[in-house]
Amino acid sequence: MFVLGITGGIGTGKSVVASICRAAGIPVIDADAIAHELTDRASDTTARIGEVLGTDLIDENGALMRNKMADLAFTDKRALDTLSSIIHEDVIAAVDCRLEEMEKMKIKAVVLDAPIPIERGFIDNTDQIWAIRADDDIRLERLRRRGMSDSDALRRMRVQMSPDQYKELAHFEITNNGSFLELEDKVHKLLRQELGLRGISLPGIPESPID
């Protein structure tokens, strides 16, 4: 089974690339979605977060208060690292379980979508990594459209890895400064190339146009 890791900073379009892969017929394991599942309800994960970072971050139902946590995490790199270390262990266990299930189902290719390309659970699970990149002004405009203030968006961008750090980990880098159709074309071309080398074909990936 070919495991493709997709990563990149906030506002680069990483999740859009994953959605293009999903539409092409490749199942996607979304590490962010798993993290939400673990923190949107009372769990061992939220209990540990409350214990280490403060019970005022946990609501009366035992779920993480995401807005408070975001304010803390994206203004305090140490808090972000602590949050990540608490959540990652449980996310990694869930990712490992889903990959095992897909292997048993003889799925030929799967995407692992993760914003933080950690060694254990992402890099060691992937056969290839794509880093998604976009210019900062374009990222900022995308985050504005999500309703973020410039100051909040810039704080979030600054505490993440730099584009060059993502690039160093990746086998391929995709620049996403243009339209969705331009991005889709880049992703389809790379999927045709890399899956083709491995003898994998998917009906959701269009044939390369003939010049």
Q: How many domains does the chain have?
A: 1
CA–centroid distance for 90 within its chain: 16
- Inside any domain, residue 210: no
Tokens of 158: 């600054």
- Inside any domain, residue 200: no
Percent of the chain with pLDDT over 70: 97
- Inside any domain, residue 207: no
CATH classification at residue 31: 3.40.50.300
- Inside any domain, residue 15: yes
Tokens of 86: 């608490």
- Give CA–CA dist 155/149, Å, rounded: 10
| Element holding 173 (H helix, E strand) | strand 172-175
What pLDDT band is residue 208 in, cutting at 50, 70 and 90?
A: low
| pTM score, whole prediction | 0.86
Each residue of 64-95: pLDDT tens digit? 988 887 777 667 778 777 887 888 888 999 99
Residue 35 has pLDDT above 60, yes or no: yes
Residue 211 has pLDDT above 60, yes or no: no
Segments forming the whole domain that contains residue 77: 2-195
- Inside any domain, residue 45: yes
- Inside any domain, residue 22: yes
Strand arrangement, sheet containing 2-8: 28-30, 109-113, 2-8, 128-133, 172-175
- Inside any domain, residue 205: no
Each residue of 90-142: pLDDT tens digit? 899 999 999 999 999 999 999 999 988 888 888 999 999 999 999 999 999 99
Return all residues near 112 (Cβ < 8 A) that are at least 6 apart.
Answer: 3, 4, 5, 6, 28, 29, 31, 95, 99, 122, 125, 126
Nearest to 19 by CA among 171, 162, 180, 178: 180
- Inside any domain, residue 144: yes
